[in-house]
Amino acid sequence: MVRLFQIAIFICTALLLAGCTPPEKADTVWHQVKIGDLVPYPNQKRPSGQLLKTISFDIYIFEIPAENINTFDDVWPVLYTKPLRFNNFDAFKANFFSAGFAQVQMWNKIRDLLFAADAKKAETLSLLLSDGQANDLAVARLDNEKTIFYISAAGSMQEKTVRFGKLALRMKAEQIPGSRGVCEVDIKPVFSSRIKGLTQQLPARDTSGEFLFTSAGFKLKMSPGDFVLLGPEKYLNHQVTLGSLFFSRPKPKPLIRAYLIVCTGIVD
């Protein structure tokens, strides 16, 4: 009951970010987000007729003016990195990725920092993952050949030439046996030649036309109401590195992007 109350507070404070702004700024973060779309359903038993265990997430994509990048100097210390198990922490940072974990009771402070940096909502997405399955969240569409430079797990600069396709965040979630209401989440960048909208359920064992940037990936355990914020270590105004392609939008106005991933429910 306490956790549900905390999650309700999280939802309400998210909506306040839109409510506290004047009408001319109606596109501010969280505007038009309905409470009914966000209410989590943690630790429920499987409803009658449901065949699969599922794990649900809400994902909020923020766009922030590039000149306000320094706001993350205040955001990251508020969050925890200990729950995150990086594939290679040094490579993760060298690719100019940053991430932090928190729970609902910590949201108010982070919300205020983003609001002060003039954050705007670019997208709001809901993901319903079958237990143990993966889903791609599109980040950038590539319409021509491009060479992406990135830091490998060995710490060396590598390059990957890709053609028509998309950069995405691949999210995989799996319930942990014996730990009700807890799931293991695996998040990593990927290039895929498949383009079918913002999110895409992946065919089993189909790895054709894709490349995983595992050096910028991480895992963590999540329960309903937990969230992880993924954003840039610094602003990069070129479009040749993995970090710049994920987090920078140079036109028409320089912007940086951040991704808030909220676990909203586990149905077992």
Q: How far apart are CA 16 and CA 3, in angstroms?
A: 20
pLDDT of 194 reads 64
Residue 95 pLDDT > 50: yes
**Dmax of the chain from CA atoms?**
52
**Which among 129, 166, 153 has a CA at the least distance from the CA of 218?**
153
What does the pLDDT look like over 157-183, one tens digit per residue? 999 998 888 999 999 999 998 888 999
Residue 12 pLDDT > 50: no
What is the Cα Rg of the chain in Å? Answer: 18
**Which among 212, 251, 214, 218 has a CA at the least distance from the CA of 83?**
218
What does the pLDDT look like over 112-150, one tens digit per residue? 999 899 998 888 999 999 988 899 999 888 888 889 999
The domains of the chain are located at 2-267
pLDDT of 261 reads 95
181/47: higher pLDDT = 181
Q: Averaged over 228-232, what is the pLDDT?
A: 96
Q: Averaged over 238-261, what is the pLDDT?
A: 88
pLDDT of 159 reads 94
- Provide the whole-model pTM: 0.79
Residue 39 pLDDT > 60: no
- pLDDT confidence tier of residue 46, bands split at 50, 70 and 90: very low
pLDDT of 268 reads 79
